[in-house]
C-alpha cells in the first residue's frame, strides 16, 4: 500500500453496503486522509461512526466530490449514472457497486484476485465497476479451475440472502418471522411474495428470454471478468429466507478432467477461497458460518458422473463483504498502490 493517504467519499453511506464499506475501510486500515459520507436528502445530518468519530452525512450532489481522490458508490444504478461522471470530472476515481456501467466495453469490471490488470483501464472514463455480488462469489473458485482445465460450460443455481435486496428486505424477513410467531398477518413490501418460510425464484425483472436481469448479469459479467466471451452459461437465481451470505450450486464442465482431489488443491491455493469440504463430518459451507467473513468457502466438491470432465461444488460468501464492499475496497487498494 502506498504511504500516501487519500480523500475518500462513500456515496450511499447509509445503505447496507455503504455501512459495510465504512467498516472495511477501518478494518483494513485503508489510508484515509478524510472521509466524506454522502446520501439522499432524508439522511442528511445523520451521524455515522468512523474510527471512533461521528461523521455527518452530507447531500449526494454533483458538487460533493471536490477534493475527493476515490469515490466509492453504493447508491444504486440511477444515482451512479447521475453522479459518477461528476465525481470523475472533479478529479475522483469512481469504484461503482451498481449495475450501471458493468457491461460498458470501455469500463473495467474487476475482481482483484482474477483480473487486477484491468483496473488500469479506468483512465478512459474514470470509473471501475464492481461486479454483481453473486457473480463474484461464483467465479472466485471457478478461476483457478479454469486456469488448470479451461472452462467450457457453467450451470449455476443461486440461493441469495435478503441483504442482497437491501436493509429494508432484511428487516422484512425479520418482521414476517416475528409476525408468524405471533400469529399475525405478514406485511409484504420488499418482495413480490412472502419471504419468511419461502423461496422466491425471481430476482430482478424478467426479460423476453424468460431469464431475469440477475441471471443475465451472472452470465454476461462472468464472461467479461474471466475474459471468456463465448463461455456457455445458464443461471437460475433464487431469493431465500437468509439474512446474509449468498450460496451458489455450480456445475462446471472443462476441456480436461479435474479430479475432486485436484479441484480441492487448486481452490485451496487461490487467494480469497477456502475449502470447507468434509461431508463425512457434516462440514460444508453455510450462510450461517460465512456471514461476516471475507473469503468464499467451497465444499460438496465432487465429480459429475453424468457428463464428461464435469465438477459439482457449492460455494458460500458474504455478499455484503466480498460480494460488494470488500471487493470495492480491494479495487481501491490496488488503485492506491499502483495507479494514483
pLDDT tens for residues 128-143? 999 999 999 999 999 9
Which pLDDT score is estimated for 3?
73
Does the annotation mark 133 as catalytic?
yes
By the 10 Å C-beta count (0-12 exposed, 13-18 middle, 19+ buried), 20 is classed as buried
Q: What is the mean pLDDT of the chain?
A: 96
Domains of the chain in sequence order: 6-130+324-339 (3.40.50.720), 134-319 (3.30.360.10)
**Buried b / exposed e across 205-227, counting CB within 10 Å, b at 16+?**
eeeeeebbebbbbbbbbbbbbbe
**What pLDDT, in 10s, does the model give residues 193-229?**
999 999 999 999 999 999 999 999 999 999 999 999 9
Catalytic residue among 146, 235, 246, 290: 246
The model carries a pTM of 0.94
Nearest to 283 by CA among 238, 330, 253, 316: 316
Q: Which helix (H) or strand (E) holds 168?
A: helix 167-182
Does the annotation mark 273 as catalytic?
no
Q: How confident is the model at residue 167 (pLDDT cuts 50, 70, 90)?
A: confident
Percent of the chain with pLDDT over 90: 95
Catalytic residue among 133, 235, 273, 296: 133
By the 10 Å C-beta count (0-12 exposed, 13-18 middle, 19+ buried), 289 is classed as middle
Amino acid at each position: 500500500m502506498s504511504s500516501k493517504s487519500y480523500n475518500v467519499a462513500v456515496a450511499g453511506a447509509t445503505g447496507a453496503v455503504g455501512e459495510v464499506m465504512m467498516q472495511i475501510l477501518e478494518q483494513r486500515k485503508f489510508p484515509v486522509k478524510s472521509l466524506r459520507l454522502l446520501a439522499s436528502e432524508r439522511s442528511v445530518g445523520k451521524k455515522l461512526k468512523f474510527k471512533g468519530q461521528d461523521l455527518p452525512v452530507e447531500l449526494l450532489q454533483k458538487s460533493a466530490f471536490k477534493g475527493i481522490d476515490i469515490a466509492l458508490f453504493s447508491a444504486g444504478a440511477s444515482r451512479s449514472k447521475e453522479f459518477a461522471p461528476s465525481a470523475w470530472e472533479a478529479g475522483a476515481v469512481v469504484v461503482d457497486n451498481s449495475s450501471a456501467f458493468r457491461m460498458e466495453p470501455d469500463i473495467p469490471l474487476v475482481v482483484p484476485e482474477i483480473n487486477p490488470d484491468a483496473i488500469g483501464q479506468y483512465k478512459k472514463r474514470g470509473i471501475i465497476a464492481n461486479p454483481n455480488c453473486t457473480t463474484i462469489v461464483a467465479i472466485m473458485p471457478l478461476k483457478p479451475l479454469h486456469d488448470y482445465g479451461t472452462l467450457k460450460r457453467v450451470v449455476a443455481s443461486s440461493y441469495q440472502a435478503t441483504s442482497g435486496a437491501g436493509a429494508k428486505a432484511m428487516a422484512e424477513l425479520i418482521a414476517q418471522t416475528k409476525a408468524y410467531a405471533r400469529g399475525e398477518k405478514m406485511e409484504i413490501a420488499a418482495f413480490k411474495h412472502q419471504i419468511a418460510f419461502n423461496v422466491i425464484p425471481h430476482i430482478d425483472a424478467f426479460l423476453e428470454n424468460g431469464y431475469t436481469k440477475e441471471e443475465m448479469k451472472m452470465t454476461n459479467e462472468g464472461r467479461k471478468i474471466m475474459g471468456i466471451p463465448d463461455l456457455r452459461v445458464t443461471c437460475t437465481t433464487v431469493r431465500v429466507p437468509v439474512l446474509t451470505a449468498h450460496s451458489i450450486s455450480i456445475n462446471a464442465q472443462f476441456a480436461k478432467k479435474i479430479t475432486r482431489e485436484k479441484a480441492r488443491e487448486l481452490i485451496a491455493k487461490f487467494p480469497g477461497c477456502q475449502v470447507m469440504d468434509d461431508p463425512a463430518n457434516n462440514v460444508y459451507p453455510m450462510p450461517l458460518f460465512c456471514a461476516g467473513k471475507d473469503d468464499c468457502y467451497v465444499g460438496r466438491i465432487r465429480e459429475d458422473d453424468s457428463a464428461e470432465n464435469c465438477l459439482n461444488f457449492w460455494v458460500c460468501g458474504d455478499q455484503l463483504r466480498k460480494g460488494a464492499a470488500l471487493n470495492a475496497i480491494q479495487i481501491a487498494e490496488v488503485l492506491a498502490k499502483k495507479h494514483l
